């Protein structure tokens, strides 16, 4: 069974960089699939942040692209998110997830999710 | 980017009711649409993929239909555990990547 677990600071100061890691168990990242980050501000909807392949190929939400870096560490079977220059608007529950679906047709979805971690941006 | 809208934004229903939620895409997306259920404090759960395919382990009272720009999620007989928020989601490689609809909250009447 594929399991994902987010970790990282729950409180980040404005203008600093938010850093989170997603540890994957039950599946080797090196075997394939894209892996992604999604966030959800309190009481609001879901926003995709970006995705990464085991090779390191990335794809970011255009609205966040200038501030986002996603990387992968296949030796530790984990991938990470960095979001720079954060403001209160970046306060959200951050989820990591596996990108499932039909890679041949491009019909993608998120089939396995972490439990999520709340990150608050405040001084 | 492709925008997704959902209607209604919320609804109240009773156990046993048939519930239908609509998702509309700003451009045609063939059948590349997924539906998720999210309960408070929990991660979203994949229910339907490719517009009408039921994810493994999801009860058969959930069904999806549609293609192009108009999609529906139907719960044939609402159960107590189905009270939640439902989101649609699409992916387009050339137009912004993944987007989610704003959600439809289903609560108890």
Count other C-beta atoms under 10 Å from residue A33's C-beta.
Answer: 21
Quick check: A119 and A8 in contact, CB under 8 A? yes
State the average pLDDT for chain B: 96
Give B83 to chain A, closest Cα distance, Å.
Answer: 16
| Chain segment A27-72, per-residue pLDDT in tens | 999 998 999 999 999 999 999 999 999 899 999 999 999 999 999 9
Chain A residues within 8 A of B73 when measuring between CB atoms: none
Query: What does the pLDDT read at residue B98?
Result: 95
- Segment A84-120, tens digit of pLDDT: 999 999 999 999 999 998 888 888 999 999 999 999 9
Are the Cβ atoms of A111 and B101 closer than 8 angstroms?
no
**Peptide bond before residue A49 is cis, with ω within 30 degrees of 0:** no
Pairing of strands B4-7, B19-25: antiparallel
Chain segment B84-99, per-residue pLDDT in tens: 999 999 998 777 799 9
The mean pLDDT value of chain A amounts to 96
Residues of B in contact with A109 (CB under 8 A): 34, 46, 49, 89, 91
B52 touches chain A (CB under 8 A): no
Binding-face residues of B in 2-41 toward A, CB within 8 A? 30-32, 34, 36
């Amino acid at each position: 069974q594929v399991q994902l677990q987010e970790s990282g600071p729950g409180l980040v100061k404005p203008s600093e960089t938010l850093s989170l890691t997603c540890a994957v168990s039950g599946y080797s990242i090196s075997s394939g699939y894209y892996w992604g980050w999604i966030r959800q501000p309190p009481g609001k909807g879901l926003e995709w942040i970006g995705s990464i392949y085991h090779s390191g190929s990335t794809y970011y939400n255009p609205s966040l692209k200038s501030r986002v870096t996603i990387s992968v560490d296949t030796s530790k079977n984990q991938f990470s998110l960095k979001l720079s220059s954060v403001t209160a608007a970046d306060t959200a529950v951050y989820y990591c997830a596996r990108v499932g679906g039909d890679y041949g047709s491009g019909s993608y979805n998120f089939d396995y999710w972490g439990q999520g971690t709340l990150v608050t941006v405040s001084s | 980017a492709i925008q997704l809208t959902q209607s209604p934004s919320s609804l109240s229903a009773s156990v046993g009711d048939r519930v239908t939620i609509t998702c509309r895409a700003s451009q045609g997306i063939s059948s590349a649409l997924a539906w998720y259920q999210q309960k408070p404090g929990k991660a979203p759960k994949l229910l339907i993929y490719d517009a009408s395919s039921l994810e493994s382990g999801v009860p058969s009272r959930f069904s999806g239909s549609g293609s192009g720009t108009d999609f529906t999620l139907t719960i044939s007989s609402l159960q107590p555990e189905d009270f939640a928020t439902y989101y649609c989601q699409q992916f387009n490689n050339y137009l912004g990547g993944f987007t989610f609809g704003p959600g439809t909250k289903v609560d108890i009447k």
